[in-house]
Amino acid sequence: MSLRSGANVAAAAACLYPTVLCRVDAEAIPAGLDPKTHVVLSTLHGTFGEDGGMQRLLEAAGFAYAGCDARASAITMDKAETKTRAAKVGVPVIDGVVFEAAHAPLAAELAAKLGHEVVLKPNNEGSSVGLALCSTVDDIAAALGRITSGRWLAERRIHGTELTVGLLDGRAMGVVEIAPKTGVYDYTNKYTKGNTEYFAPARIAPGAASAVQRFAEGVFAACGCRDFARADFLLTAEGEPYFLEINTLPGMTDTSLLPLSAKCVGIGYQALVGELLAPALRRFQQSQTPSLHGQG
């Protein structure tokens, strides 16, 4: 996904600016890049790409780069911390319990707090990695038994329509509906072609769409995000939206969710790439302009 996103972004960016496509195979800035010459737009997925690792390296080297800074990236990679920040600004979140693998609760304890239908997922992973959907106490016990390390999040399972909305410079774009043909939007359905249908705009009431957009903007600001992101929600049958998570480096293939959200508001793929780069280009230009402070 990172490679396909990178190739697509580079092709679109090359129509706008001189562009270099770099492959990242190690936790390091690719050789040959110069902060006095290059502006970076990363499409890396996974921990180093999304948790602030690459962003910290870019900041230390003095690069202007597109997307959230290292601090916001680290915050949003932590699902529990993101939910806490969302709740503080009035965004509805799902009841949950955070725990370390070494101190996992008993299945009966989770069921007593959250009910028998529970979702278990790693607290610091993306792409639905490690997601477990439990319908009984035995299911919960089995899922807990497979956990060997890391920090985990257990949430009350809510049934509803999965939604996502892209944000540009903190402003929500169109709401997209995610409709797996079978089951739920897990890793397999997310990355297997033809397993999921997408409706852009979503087939939901205008009031629900407006609420999702408003909540997405609230979470974006509460987490200190900048430039762009994508926020995911679940909409119950009663029309109540619940925030799930925010993705600071969303996929950028031509069928990815952020481009679909942009398409809802009339922004095509190439124009979207230009919008993603624009704030970083402004920061680059500001960094190259000598300060006149103190000169008479």
Look at 128 and 13; give whichever has higher pLDDT: 13
Evaluate the CA torsion angle 88, 168, 13, 36 in order and state its sign: negative
Write out 133-157 in H/E/C secondary structure.
EECCHHHHHHHHHCCCCCEEEEEEC
Q: Convert the pLDDT of each residue in 146-185 to its tens digit.
A: 999 999 999 999 999 999 999 999 999 999 999 987 666 6
| Helices vs. strands in the chain: H and E counts, helices first | 11, 11
The whole-model pTM stands at 0.91
For 16, phi and psi rounded to 5 degrees?
A: -115, -40
In this predicted structure, what is the pLDDT of residue 296? 39
Q: To the nearest whole number, what is the mean pLDDT of the chain?
A: 92
Per cent of the chain over pLDDT 70 is 92
Instruction: Reply yes or no on whether the pLDDT at 108 is more than 60.
Output: yes
* pLDDT tens for each residue of 233-292: 999 999 999 999 999 999 998 779 999 999 999 999 999 999 999 999 999 999 887 654
DSSP bridge pairs for 176: 164
CB-count exposure of residue 119 (10 Å: 0-12, 13-18, 19+): buried
* pLDDT band, very low/low/confident/very high, at 191 (cuts 50, 70, 90): low
Per-residue pLDDT reduced to its tens digit, 43-89: 998 888 889 999 999 999 999 999 999 999 999 999 999 999 999 99
Can you tell me which residue has the tokens 């600071």?
A: 248
- pLDDT confidence of residue 68: 97
The tokens 């049934």 sit on which residue? 159
CATH of the domain spanning 159-268, picked from 3.40.190.10, 1.10.390.10, 3.30.450.20, 3.30.470.20: 3.30.470.20
The whole-number average pLDDT for the span 183-195 is 62
Which residues of the chain form CATH 3.30.1490.20?
96-156
pLDDT surpassing 50 at residue 217: yes
Letter for the amino acid at 215? F
What b/e sequence results for 198-221 when a residue is b if at least 16 CB atoms lie within 10 Å of its CB, and e otherwise?
A: ebbbbebeeebbebbbebbbbbbe
Quote the pLDDT of residue 125: 77
Task: Let me know how long the chain is.
Answer: 296
Q: What is the DSSP letter of 93?
A: B
Query: Domain spanning 96-156 has what CATH number?
Result: 3.30.1490.20
As annotated, the residues of the chain forming the CATH 3.30.470.20 domain(s) are 159-268
Cβ atoms < 10 Å from Cβ of 263: 18
Distance, CA of 193 to CA of 4 (rounded, Å): 14
The reported pLDDT for the residue numbered 284 is 96
Q: Which two tokens stand for residue 136?
A: 């009984």
